[in-house]
Structure 1
Amino acid sequence: MAPNDDSDNRVPRLVNRADFKNWTIRLRHHLCSIDNDLWKSIEKSSHIPTQTAPDSASTYTKDSTEPYPEDNLSAEDLRKVKNDSKAYSLMCKGLPLQVLSRLDAYQTGYTCFKALKSICEGGEQLRSLKKSKLKRELELFEHINGETVHQMMNKFVHLITEMSNLGVKTDLQDLNDRLLCALPSSWKQTVTLLKHTEKFPMDLDLLIGKIEEVEIDEGSRNTDRSSSQAQYKYVVNPANTVENAFLAQDVTSAPNPNPNARLEPEVVIL
């Protein structure tokens, strides 16, 4: 496959409106990998040739939907016009059909992208409401009974990503404190240790990594503890004291002095 191939399967797909910011980044990298001018025509503006057609006294305008007559364009103008068309085509390949249907009126990559941004991110009032909502969610963020710590952290990262996409700036100290405060009460000792490390407050990825290390380590110890308890279970005769308890494996190896005697029920101490 050629390095500059722009087949459908390589064009980033816009999954939903919440993914618009990340999709824009992926689209920019994709277009720039083909030609830097492709992204420029999307981000800045489509190229408008300034020359006048020989048989007309009017110049081409930004609102014109008529194709430019190639015979009247310079080589440089022709290259830029074709780049605009290519950028527009590639961007549209990454959009769902239901989104494309709302953009039929926009014939250039620049105007189409600008309209798409408005659809996905909304106007200033809507963006302000979304920001307030996300800030409130961060303030109330906590662990929910039944979810694992890993699930809780994924939820936290998703919330922070949404805030970042809307341009909401958050203090690193506040993020560290909010995440640690949301951990279950059983993590109290770990939280205290993390807060007293020299690197605190720390980068969010680093903090999440340390929490995951503790979670994995605790899971391994619980597994080892369960295995140990299953291996050393005790059998106790209720008529005897605890001091007279003996290991189950000793019971099976020792001969029974009275094979006709009724066996006492087994009591397992875990």
Structure 2
Amino acid sequence: MDDQEASINKIPRLLGHENFIKWKVLFKAAVNYNDPELWTSIREGQYVPSTTAGNNATIELKMKKRDNKALSMLKLGLSWEILTSVNHHKTTKEMYDAVIDMFEENTELRDIKKDRQKQQLDRFKFKEGERLKSVLQRFMTIVNEIRTTNLLISDFELNKKLLSSLSGEWYTCK
């Protein structure tokens, strides 16, 4: 997902496991930016008219439009492969929950992600000729992904890894 895809004017697209964490955060932000009530429709489900409140057609129409817009936004935010596997769900909440289950709720998958991120951290090292800003950006990308999976690595260990990854020429004073 590049910077253009992450803008608030464009719904981020879920392509697969590799961008799920970013998609989840950016999708919620895009929905809330467009209309905070849409997130309510996604998380709580469709509006169900109350039989005791009487027939307020205006409110019901507004809520139905909100639910339809939320469902459309979710569908637009999914790749074709993912959409076809969850499109049988009729409500936005059901579809969103199915996507979350597909990518997050599986403990085996979560453990695999943690292992992969730990390996990324272990393999992290300075690239010859790389500027410090680039090193820090790559390192922080890995750290941020690690923190979203609740992999417990102390700040001390992260600092130690970063410092041990730097080029030897940065340790000499001239």
Distance 1:168 1:137 in 2: 13
- The answer for the alignment partner of 1:80 in structure 2 is 63
CA RMSD of aligned residues (A): 2.9
- The answer for the alignment partner of 2:27 in structure 1 is 27
Q: Secondary structure at the match of 2:72?
A: helix
Contact 1:38 1:84 in 2 (8 A): yes
Contact 1:28 1:39 in 2 (8 A): yes
Q: Sequence identity, in percent? A: 25
In structure 2, the CA distance between the partners of 1:34 and 1:133, relative to structure 1 (3 Å rule), is: closer
- Unaligned runs of 5+ residues in structure 1 are 1-8, 53-71, 191-270
Distance 1:44 1:168 in 2: 29
Q: 2:141 aligns with which of 158, 174, 187?
A: 158
Contact 2:21 2:148 in 1 (8 A): yes
Letter in 2 for 1:78: L
**1:120 equivalent in alignment to 2:107:** no
Q: How many residues align?
A: 163
Distance 1:24 1:181 in 2: 32
Q: What does residue range 242-261 of structure 1 map to in structure 2 within 5 Å? A: none
In structure 2, the CA distance between the partners of 1:137 and 1:90, relative to structure 1 (3 Å rule), is: closer
Q: Secondary structure at the match of 2:153?
A: coil
Q: Could you state the TM-score of these two structures normalised by the residue count of structure 1? A: 0.51
Letter in 2 for 1:41: S
- Unaligned runs of 5+ residues in structure 2 are 1-8
Q: Could you state the TM-score of these two structures normalised by the residue count of structure 2? A: 0.75
- The answer for the alignment partner of 1:188 in structure 2 is 171
Q: 2:130 aligns with which of 148, 170, 174?
A: 148
| Rg (Cα) greater in structure | 1
Q: 1:138 aligns with which of 121, 129, 133?
A: 121
Q: Would you tell me which structure has more helix in proportion to its own residues?
A: 2
Letter in 2 for 1:91: L
Structure 1 residue 87 displacement after superposition: 0.4
Q: Secondary structure at the match of 2:86?
A: coil
Q: Secondary structure at the match of 2:85?
A: coil
Q: 2:86 aligns with which of 92, 96, 103?
A: 103
Distance 1:30 1:41 in 2: 14
In structure 2, the CA distance between the partners of 1:11 and 1:134, relative to structure 1 (3 Å rule), is: closer
Q: Which is bigger in relative contact order (C-alpha 8 A, separation at least 6)?
A: 2
Q: C-alpha deviations, 1:98-117, integer Å up to 9, x for none? A: 22111121111111111112
Letter in 1 for 2:124: F
